[in-house]
Amino acid sequence: MILCSNPSEQFKSYQSEIEQAVLSVMRSNSYILGEQVNLLEKEFAEFIGTSSAIGVANGTDAIEISLKALNIGHGDEVITVSHTAVATVAAIEATGAKAVLVDIEKQFYTLNPVYLQQALSKNTKAVVVVHLYGNAADLESVQAFCRSNKLYLIEDTSQAHGAKYKGKRLGSIGDIGCFSCYPTKNLGAIGDAGLVTTNDPDLANKIRMIREYGWKERVSILPGRNSRLDEIQASILRIKLKHLDSDNQKRRKIASFYKDHLSHLPILLPNTRPNVEPVFHLFVIEVERQKMLLDFLKKEGIQAGVHYSLPVHLHPAYLSKIAKLKDMSVTEMITKKIISLPIYPELSNHNALSIVNSMKKFYNQ
- Domain shared by 230 and 265, yes or no: no
Distance from C-alpha of 179 to C-alpha of 156, rounded to nearest angstrom: 6
Confidence at residue 323, expressed as pLDDT on a 0 to 100 scale = 86
Confidence label for 202 from pLDDT (cuts 50, 70 and 90): very high
The 8-class DSSP code of residue 114 comes to G
For residues 83 and 147, state if they share a domain. yes
CA distances from 317 to 64, 86, 165, 311 (A): 18, 10, 34, 12
> In this structure, are 43 and 174 located in the same domain?
yes
Q: Is residue 365 predicted with pLDDT exceeding 90? A: no
Task: In whole angstroms, give the CA distance from residue 54 to residue 228.
Answer: 10
Q: Where are the alpha helices (DSSP H) in 182-283?
A: 201-210, 231-242, 244-262
Q: Please give the Cα distance from 1 to 17 (Å, whole number).
A: 27
* CA distance to 75, 159, 173, 313, per residue, from 156 (Å): 22, 8, 11, 18
Average pLDDT estimate for 145-162:
98
CATH number at residue 282: 3.90.1150.10
- Tally of domains within the chain: 2
Phi and psi torsions of 21, nearest 5°: -65, -45
Q: For 230, which DSSP code?
A: B
pLDDT at 285: 98
pLDDT tens for residues 290-308?
999 999 999 999 999 999 9
- Same domain, residue pair 44 and 161: yes
- Select from 54, 56, 98 the least CA-distant residue to 78: 98
Q: Is residue 1 part of a domain?
A: no
State the pLDDT at residue 116: 98
Question: What is the residue-averaged pLDDT of the chain?
Answer: 97
pLDDT of 177 > 90? The answer is yes
Q: What is the pLDDT of residues 106-136, one digit of tens each?
A: 999 999 999 999 999 999 999 999 999 999 9
- Both 109 and 131 in one domain: the answer is yes
Clarify whether residues 238 and 261 are in a common domain. Answer: no
Please tell me the predicted confidence (pLDDT) of residue 34: 95
pLDDT digits (tens, 9 = 90+) for 205-263: 999 999 999 999 999 999 999 999 999 999 999 999 999 999 999 999 999 999 999 99
Domain co-membership, 248 together with 206: no
Answer yes or no: is 32 within a domain: yes
Whether residue 44 has pLDDT greater than 80 = yes
- The last residue of one of the domains, among 224, 242, 260, is 242
Choose the final residue of a domain: 217, 242, 267: 242
For the cut 90, the answer to whether the pLDDT of residue 192 exceeds it is: yes
Q: Both 64 and 117 in a single domain?
A: yes
Q: How many CB atoms lie within 10 A of CB 60?
A: 24
Same domain, 94 and 187: yes
Same-domain pairing of 185 and 290: no
- pLDDT of 14 > 90? The answer is yes
Return the CATH number at 124: 3.40.640.10
To the question of pTM greater than 0.95 for the whole model, the response is yes
For residue 54, the surrounding DSSP H or E stretch is: strand 52-56
Give the pLDDT of residue 322: 87
Q: pLDDT at residue 266 above 90?
A: yes
Q: Does some domain include residue 106?
A: yes
What is the span of the domain harbouring residue 236?
7-242
Is residue 151 located within the same domain as residue 296?
no
3-state secondary structure of 206: helix
Query: 170: closest CA among 277, 87, 58?
Result: 277
Note whether residue 348 is domain-resident: yes
d(CA 39, CA 169): 20
Residues 288 and 190 in one domain: no
Among 212, 242, 272, identify where a domain stops.
Answer: 242
Judged by DSSP in three states, 46 sits in helix
